[in-house]
Each structure stands twice: as C-alpha cells, then as structure tokens.
Amino acid sequence: MLKEERLSTIMDILDASGVLTVKSIVKKLEVSDMTIRRDLDELSKLGKVIRIHGGAQSLNHYRHDELSHIEKQEIHIAEKLEVAEAASRLIHEGDSIFLGPGTTIELIVKFINVSSLRIVTNSLPVFNLLEQKNEDFDTYLIGGSYRKKTGAFVGSIANDAIDKLKVEKAFIGVNGIKKNSVFTANIEEGSIQSLVLKNARSKFIVCDYHKFNKEDFYNFYHLSEVDQIITNSNTEEKLLEEYKKYVSIMCSKK
C-alpha cells in the first residue's frame, strides 16, 4: 500500500470509530508499528488527527466521552507551549487575572515573568503549579464540586464565588470553536467559564489551531463577546480570516 493510500485509509477508519490505538491500526493495515507511529505523527502535524497516548483521535467523529487530563497533556504539546508563551506576554505587573482549567492554561504558569500578581483559578493543577513556582503571588483557589477529569472545581459554590469577583484579564481554554460559538465538554465547567468572562474586563480564549471548526457538547459563550483569541503562528490564513469576522486574533511568534 502506497503512503498516500495508507494515510487516507487511516483517516477513514479513524473517522468511523473516533479513537484507535497504534496496535489496532497495525493489525488492520498489516504494517509495522513504527510506520503507523510516523503516519500518525505526520497527520497530527497536518492538523488532521489528534495524537493521543498510544494512538490517535479523529477530528470528525463526535465523542460523547471527554479526554482525561493526562490524555490532554500528551497531545499537541509544542503548539500548546507556543500559545501559552504568547498568552503570558499579556500578563503585566500588578494585574488581577483568572486562569481557567485546561492543559494549555496550565502551561501559561511556566512563562509568567512578573513579581506582583493577583491570580484567581478554579483549577487545582494550575494552583499546584503556582505553588511550585514559589512566587509571592496573591492566589485564590475557588472551591466547589471537584471534577477529577479536568482537575476543576465547579458547581453552585464555585459559581457563587466567581459571581462576586471582578478581574482585569481572564484566560480561558476551550474544547472547540465553530463560527461564533465556543464549546466545552461539560455544562458545569462551561457555566463557571461564562461567569468568569462576564466579570472580566479583558476576555481571552487560549487555544491551539486544532480547536478551530470543532464542536463539543456545551456552547458556553460567543466569540463576538470575547476580546481576543490567542493561537498558533502557523494557523492557516484562510481560517484566520474566517474567524476575524467575529473576534481579534493574536498569533504567537515562533
């Protein structure tokens, strides 16, 4: 089987099943493990599949189940780092900010380079990373019902706390963006993120380019109400033009 035919076949079987392991693709196509891993890496770089630990996920197959926090940490790492570094440049001395749940948002912590900051978060991983950073930040962890899947605190207790707070800048991760809609996988997480954005002076969506033209379970906000999307430098110009109808877009610098 020629390479192009093999790549097309991999896409077809992924779209049909949603998620496949390297082992299962090897068995179907009767080629080596190394060949399939290279094929999946290439398809991932082209933005045609989502690479996950031990296999790949289709962009076109609707998942009723949400990827775990660990699975999300292992996909599109280079793109997430690039976007996180760009987002961190918008954080200035003395800012009051909100950092939401999500693996890209967690990486922002790595690049924060100020000494005076007030940070609000409902993400336990974000809070733990801030503690490890050992900076003298004024940090607030919002409590509530704990979602182990993402490490986020949600629900009525968290919503009541967030509703009373105002921040200068909110940095929110998403599971998908399509047309004027912003999506996440969970209603409770979407509800608290919607409240945060409502109470923020400047509203930022932080995502790699794989999240464009992708839907998920819950539409929690509209792009036209956001100040800016922060995404990758190699996002296709055609895609950028499509979404600039709704919102300003900042592309990270390599």
Concatenate the DSSP letters of all residues of 12-36 into one string.
Answer: HHHHHHSEEEHHHHHHHHT--HHHH
* Whole-Å CA distances, 203 to 75, 91, 103, 139: 25, 12, 18, 19
Intervals of CATH 3.40.50.1360 along the chain = 73-251
* Per-residue pLDDT at 70: 58
In tens digits, the chain (254 residues) has pLDDT values of 788 899 999 988 888 777 888 999 999 999 999 999 999 999 888 878 878 778 887 876 555 556 666 556 556 678 899 999 999 999 999 999 999 999 999 999 999 999 999 999 999 999 999 999 878 899 999 999 999 989 999 999 999 999 999 999 999 999 999 999 999 999 999 999 999 999 999 999 999 988 898 888 899 999 999 999 999 988 889 899 999 999 999 998 75
Intra-chain end-to-end CA distance of the chain, in Å: 36
At CB < 8 A and 24+ separation, what contacts does 91-94 make?
91/117, 91/169, 93/117
Q: Give the full edge-to-edge strand order of the sheet including 19-21.
A: 19-21, 55-58, 49-52
CATH of 3-61, one of 1.10.8.350, 3.50.7.10, 1.10.10.10, 1.25.40.10: 1.10.10.10
Helix axes 33-45, 22-29, angle to 10 degrees: 110
Encoding tokens for residue 112?
Answer: 């924060």
73-251: CATH topology is Rossmann fold (3.40.50)
Cβ density class 12-47: b for 16+ within 10 Å, e for less: eebeeeebbebeebbeebeeeeeebbebbeebbeeb
> By 3-state DSSP, what share of the chain in percent is helix, strand and coil, each rounded to 5?
40, 25, 30
Spatial neighbors of 137 by CB under 8 A, at least 6 apart, are 116, 117, 118, 119, 130
* Per-residue pLDDT at 152: 97
Intervals of CATH 1.10.10.10 along the chain = 3-61
Cβ(200)–Cβ(232) under 8 Å? no
* Per-residue pLDDT at 114: 95
* Per-residue pLDDT at 58: 81
